[in-house]
A and B are shown apart, each in its own frame.
Chain A
Amino acid sequence: MNQINIKRTLLLLLLPGSVFLLFFFVLPLIFVFTESFHGSTGELTLLRYTEVLKSKQFHFVYLRTLKIALIVTPLAVLVAYPSAYIITKMTAGKKSVMMSLVILPLMTSPVARTFAWIVILGRFGLINQTLAAVKVTSEPLRLMYTEGAIVAGLLQLFMPIMVLTLVSALENIPEEVEEAALSLGSGKTGTFFRVLVPLSFDGLIMGVTLVFTGCITAYVTPAILGGSKVLTLSTLMRQEALVLMNWEGATVIAVIMIVTTLVLYNTLRLMRPRSL
């Protein structure tokens, strides 16, 4: 193939996807973005932003969303790191079983998966029934529609992503490196923290990015487990748009959500050491 031919082939291969995304993904987003800066008569204004940013409710919900993400992410790291380490040490057959168990929650309908938490946390759910049976409490605790319920749901939702990212990061570290550290007198724990964690840092940051931004934009979990009592950014946006019919407000929240994720995405990317 000559140069012109290669260019033509490349264009033919890349064109369908590019055109599709331009029309049905980029264009609507640009529309919403510009719309957020226009007033009711079409004039350029920041009015919509000042309205939302002034609102006490928005402040509260925004900070709560960040808080939930800040709780879920380190918890996920704390559990996923040791688990991923054990999985990478397994034989191929066992590892495949583990991996299919890890991706199972990821592939299950989020509605089904989150509904399970109602059965656990509800007024007559697993926890309250157990507490009543051992007579610790006389009144059922209110566990549903709390921030704690959202944290539990999100942790189950995002744990698999963290495990998968860490497994592939740890898998790339040759066994010999670990053995070298051990032979040089490093203990098991020392090896883990001084050799394995630094070498898989790139994967860690990647996992943190995915989980953190995921927590901020997740919809189903806070919708079911937080309801209208404990709103997060995404449930607030849906309420503004579909319940209160406040399209302007919803648009601004949408833009703020994108900006927040992109800022997080790029900040965390800068923390990655070098592309390994």
Chain B
Amino acid sequence: MAFIELKNIDAGYVKGSPVLKDFNLSVEKGELISLLGPSGCGKTTTLRTIAGFILAEQGSVIIGGKDYTKIPPNKRNIGLVFQNYALFPHLSVFENVAYGLKRRKVDKSLIKTKVSAVLELVSLTGFEDRLPAQLSGGQRQRVALARSVVIEPDLLLLDEPLSNLDAKLRDEMRAELSRLQHQLGITMIYVTHDQIEALSLSSKIIVMNEGLIEQIGTPETIYERPATSFVAKFMGFDNSIKGKIESLDKKFFLINVDGKIIKAVRTEKTDLTTDENVSIFFRPEDSFLISKEEENSLPVSVNYSNFQGGSTRYSVTSGKTELSAEMPGKNNKMGKYEFIKILPEKLIIERVKA
């Protein structure tokens, strides 16, 4: 049995209309798992259900083999890091970090050693007497981390902890989180709507949408082989074009798109067969614009281009479908591009629902 098990959970904010319905999730000990999805997808609800702030109407929450379903949040040994830090404004850094230890009636001298150790861990030694208002955003977030780590929680929950920081600080904190996780080996569940954050931090990603799990997988799988159109779009497969499966073998689908044949790798177990209508998804970055027809290419006309610094993004039309392509460098050969080419292994296909 996994370390954390959510079994058949119904949970939400309004009784009778749960955000999560018959929701199941399991997390292994020591994992850093990300719940990824747009706002309203149920990722925060999942987190708050594990923390105990939302009580499941149905199902059970099991942590370390023990049933926590009906245990109040203050009796669960779970650390929580909030998006807006949620530091106690009237307490110093030391008192903030010591708060949970005091609730656990830890010996005074031991509190001192533990707090000093954890403050050193987050490089905040010397800031003990400051009030939260006297700290920068990054420092506040580190205090929040220290405060929830010092109680040696069975599990650390992080709710978009980096979203209030600016881009540079976010990168630093991401590295720091990664380091902390390796150093302490705590099981972490990390909620975010940022793909890059999820990809760079987690050992496993759970993509959620409308209270359901769309896909569970390693960052590589999620990035390379999204299982559904939702995950594909969320991971940047911005282009989609319709086609019909003409034939298939063990390795490839051959898809007819407006009379041209496009080859797509057949990796997942799939029940797609001949004559089915499908959508083909691919990333602008995985597409090449070329001037002569090659294998796996479609005729296009270029509408306009947008220089983006390291690359140039082109808006093109193939048949009646608008597509984008992104290619390195600045390129002025707009008029000469006549075809868009995509590699078979970069294509994701999904059945078009009737």
* A–B in direct contact per CB < 8 Å: yes
Chain A: CB-nearest residue to B56: A2
- Main secondary structure, interface of A, reads loop
Are A1 and B72 within 8 A (Cβ)? yes
CB distance from B113 to the nearest CB of A (A): 34
| Across-interface contacts of A3 in B (CB, < 8 A) | 15, 55
| Across-interface contacts of B15 in A (CB, < 8 A) | 3
Tell me whether B70 is interfacial, beta carbon within 8 Å: yes
- Return the CB mask of A1-42 against B: 1 if under 8 Å, else 0: 111000000000000000000000000000000000000000
| Across-interface contacts of B55 in A (CB, < 8 A) | 1-3
A2 CA to B61 CA, complexed, in Å: 14
A1 CA to B48 CA, complexed, in Å: 12
Q: What are the 6 closest A-B residue pairs judged by CB atoms, nearest first? A: A2-B55, A1-B72, A2-B70, A3-B15, A1-B55, A3-B55
Chain A: CB-nearest residue to B53: A1
**Which B residues lie at the A interface, using CB under 8 A?**
15, 55, 70, 72
Chain A: CB-nearest residue to B52: A1
A84 CA to B15 CA, complexed, in Å: 45
A3 CA to B55 CA, complexed, in Å: 8
| Across-interface contacts of A2 in B (CB, < 8 A) | 55, 70
A3 CA to B15 CA, complexed, in Å: 9
| Across-interface contacts of B70 in A (CB, < 8 A) | 2
A3 CA to B70 CA, complexed, in Å: 11
CB distance from B74 to the nearest CB of A (A): 10
- Return the CB mask of A146-188 against B: 1 if under 8 Å, else 0: 0000000000000000000000000000000000000000000
| Across-interface contacts of B72 in A (CB, < 8 A) | 1
CB distance from B19 to the nearest CB of A (A): 16
CB distance from B204 to the nearest CB of A (A): 31
A3 CA to B57 CA, complexed, in Å: 10
A249 CA to B243 CA, complexed, in Å: 88
| Across-interface contacts of A1 in B (CB, < 8 A) | 55, 72
Chain A: CB-nearest residue to B70: A2
- Return the CB mask of A192-223 against B: 1 if under 8 Å, else 0: 00000000000000000000000000000000
Chain A: CB-nearest residue to B55: A2
| Cβ contacts A to B, 6 pairs, < 8 Å | A1-B55, A1-B72, A2-B55, A2-B70, A3-B15, A3-B55
A2 CA to B70 CA, complexed, in Å: 8
A2 CA to B11 CA, complexed, in Å: 12
A212 CA to B72 CA, complexed, in Å: 51
CB distance from A3 to the nearest CB of B (A): 7
Chain A: CB-nearest residue to B57: A3
CB distance from A222 to the nearest CB of B (A): 48
A140 CA to B17 CA, complexed, in Å: 76
A3 CA to B72 CA, complexed, in Å: 12
Chain B: CB-nearest residue to A6: B55
Chain B: CB-nearest residue to A2: B55
Chain A: CB-nearest residue to B54: A1
CB distance from A256 to the nearest CB of B (A): 44
CB distance from B164 to the nearest CB of A (A): 23
CB distance from B69 to the nearest CB of A (A): 10
A1 CA to B72 CA, complexed, in Å: 6
A2 CA to B68 CA, complexed, in Å: 13
A172 CA to B8 CA, complexed, in Å: 46
CB distance from B12 to the nearest CB of A (A): 13
A1 CA to B73 CA, complexed, in Å: 8
A1 CA to B53 CA, complexed, in Å: 7
CB distance from A188 to the nearest CB of B (A): 39
CB distance from A13 to the nearest CB of B (A): 18
A2 CA to B15 CA, complexed, in Å: 11
CB distance from A6 to the nearest CB of B (A): 9
A1 CA to B55 CA, complexed, in Å: 7
Chain B: CB-nearest residue to A5: B72
A2 CA to B72 CA, complexed, in Å: 8
A47 CA to B72 CA, complexed, in Å: 62
A24 CA to B21 CA, complexed, in Å: 48
Which of B15, B55, B70 has the most A CB atoms < 10 Å from its CB? B55
A2 CA to B58 CA, complexed, in Å: 12
Chain A: CB-nearest residue to B73: A1
A39 CA to B72 CA, complexed, in Å: 59
A260 CA to B15 CA, complexed, in Å: 42
